[in-house]
Amino acid sequence: MNNFWAYIKTKSFRNTILLAIGSVIAVVLIAFYSLGYYTRHGSGIPVPKVTGLSVDKAISILKDQSFGVSIDSVYVLDQAPGTVIEQDPDAGTNVKENRIIYLKIVKNQAPPVSLPDIEQTPYISAVATISNYGLKVGDTTYKPDIARNLVLEVRFGGQLIKPGTKLPKGSKLDLVLGDGAGASEVDIPDLVNQDLDAARFVIKNGGLTLGTITYEGTITDSTNVVVVAQSPAKTDSLSKTSIGSRINLTVSQGKKTP
| Mean of pLDDT over the chain | 84
45 vs 138, higher pLDDT: 138
Confidence of residue 141 (pLDDT cuts 50, 70, 90): very high
By C-alpha distance, which of 161, 179, 173, 76 is closest to 129? 173
Confidence of residue 256 (pLDDT cuts 50, 70, 90): low
DSSP one-letter string for 148-185:
EEEEEEEEETTEEE-TT-EEETT-EEEEEEEESGGGTE
Cβ contacts of 160 within 8 Å, gap of 6 or more: 153, 154
Q: Does residue 127 fall inside a structural domain?
A: yes
Instruction: Report how far residue 234's alpha carbon sits from residue 203's, in angstroms, rounded to the nearest whole number.
Output: 13
What does the pLDDT look like over 179-224, one tens digit per residue? 876 667 788 999 999 999 999 999 988 888 999 999 998 888 888 8
Q: Is the pLDDT of residue 76 over 90?
A: no
Q: Is the pLDDT of residue 255 over 90?
A: no
Q: Does residue 258 fall inside a structural domain?
A: no
* Element at 35 (helix H, strand E): helix 11-38
Cβ contacts of 179 within 8 Å, gap of 6 or more: 142, 143, 144, 145, 148
Q: 177 and 240 share a domain?
A: no
From 106, 122, 153, give the residue that closes a domain: 106
pTM for this model (two decimals): 0.43
* Element at 100 (helix H, strand E): strand 100-106
Q: 179 and 191 share a domain?
A: no
By C-alpha distance, which of 84, 129, 135 is closest to 110? 135
Q: How many domains does the chain have?
A: 4
Give yes or no for a contact between 127 and 137, defined as CB atoms under 8 angstroms apart: yes
From 65, 85, 106, give the residue that closes a domain: 106
Count of helices and strands (H, E) across the chain: 5, 16
CATH number of the domain that 211 lies in? 3.30.10.20
What does the pLDDT look like over 91-135, one tens digit per residue? 888 888 889 999 999 887 778 899 999 998 999 999 999 999 989
From 85, 106, 127, give the residue that closes a domain: 106
Instruction: Report how far residue 136's alpha carbon sits from residue 128's, in angstroms, rounded to the nearest whole number.
Output: 10
Q: Does residue 70 fall inside a structural domain?
A: yes
Q: 167 and 218 share a domain?
A: no
Instruction: Report how far residue 236's alpha carbon sits from residue 222's, in angstroms, rounded to the nearest whole number.
Output: 33
Q: Does residue 64 fall inside a structural domain?
A: yes
What does the pLDDT look like over 142-177, one tens digit per residue? 887 777 889 999 999 889 999 999 998 888 999 999
Burial class of 222 by CB neighbour count within 10 A (0 to 12, 13 to 18, 19+) = exposed
Identity of the amino acid at 84: V
What does DSSP say about strands 136-143 and 225-231: parallel, antiparallel, or unpaired?
unpaired
Domain residues for the domain of 229 are: 186-253
Confidence of residue 238 (pLDDT cuts 50, 70, 90): confident
